[in-house]
Amino acid sequence: MAAAMKKRLLQSAAFSPKFFSTTASRVLRTGDTLRQTRVFSCEDILRYSEVSHDSNPLHFDPEVARGSGFEDRVVHGMLVAALFPWIISSNFPGAIYASQSLHFKMPVYIGEEIIGEVVATSVREHKNKYIAKFATKCFKKKGDLLVIDGEATAILPSICQQQ
Amino acid sequence: MAAAMKKRLLQSAAFSPKFFSTTASRVLRTGDTLRQTRVFSCEDILRYSEVSHDSNPLHFDPEVARGSGFEDRVVHGMLVAALFPWIISSNFPGAIYASQSLHFKMPVYIGEEIIGEVVATSVREHKNKYIAKFATKCFKKKGDLLVIDGEATAILPSICQQQ
For residue B73, is pLDDT > 60? yes
Taking an 8 Å cut-off on Cβ atoms, the answer to whether B94 and A5 are in contact is: no
Distances, alpha carbon B105 to alpha carbons B59, B97, B113, B139, B140, in Å: 17, 23, 16, 10, 11
Cβ separation B62–A2 shorter than 8 A: yes
Q: Are A130 and A80 in contact (CB under 8 A)?
A: no
Burial category of A51 from C-beta neighbours within 10 Å (exposed 0-12, middle 13-18, buried 19 and up): buried
Taking the Cβ of residue A79 and every Cβ of chain B, the question of whether any pair is shorter than 8 Å is answered with: yes
Report the pLDDT averaged over residues B118-142.
Answer: 97
Contact B5 A45 (CB under 8 A): yes
pLDDT at B161: 86
pLDDT above 70: residue B48: yes
State ipTM.
0.86
State residue A25's pLDDT score: 62
Look at residues A66, A70, A162, A150 and name the one whose alpha carbon lies nearest to residue A112: A70
Which stretch of B15-19, B54-58, B89-93 has the lowest confidence by average pLDDT?
Answer: B15-19
Does the pLDDT of residue B5 top 90, yes or no? Answer: no
Amino acid at B163: Q
Count CA atoms within 13 Å of residue A141 on its CB side. 11
Say if B157 is an interface residue toward chain A (CB within 8 Å).
yes
Task: Report the percent of chain A where pLDDT is more than 70.
Answer: 84
Is B64 touching A (CB cutoff 8 A)? Answer: yes
Looking at residue B163, its pLDDT comes to 63
Instruction: Tell me the shortest Cα–Cα distance from A141 to chain B, in angstroms.
Output: 19
What is the per-residue pLDDT for A162? 79
- Name the residue among B6, B101, B104 with its Cβ closest to that of A98: B104
pLDDT tens digit sequence for A96-141: 999 999 999 999 999 999 999 999 999 999 999 999 999 999 999 9
- Please tell me the predicted confidence (pLDDT) of residue B82: 98
Provide the 10 A C-beta neighbour count for residue A116: 24
**pTM of this prediction?**
0.86
Number of residues in chain B: 163
Q: Give percent of chain A above pLDDT 90.
A: 81
Q: pLDDT: is B14 or A127 the higher one?
A: A127
Q: Tell me the pLDDT band of B129, cut-offs 50, 70 and 90.
A: very high
User: Max Cα separation, chain B?
Assistant: 53
| pLDDT tens digits, one per residue of A72-98 | 999 999 999 999 999 999 999 999 999
Of B123, B4, B19, the residue nearest A64 (C-alpha): B19
Q: Is the pLDDT of residue B93 over 80?
A: yes
Instruction: Supply the pLDDT for residue A17.
Output: 34
pLDDT of residue B17: 34
Least trusted range by pLDDT, from A47-51, B23-27, B36-40: B23-27
Alpha-carbon torsion B137, B138, B140, B146, what sign? negative
> What percent of chain B stands above pLDDT 70?
84
Q: How far is CA A89 from CA A29, A95, A163, B59, B146, in A?
A: 16, 6, 11, 11, 24
Q: A62 CB near a chain B CB, below 8 Å?
A: yes
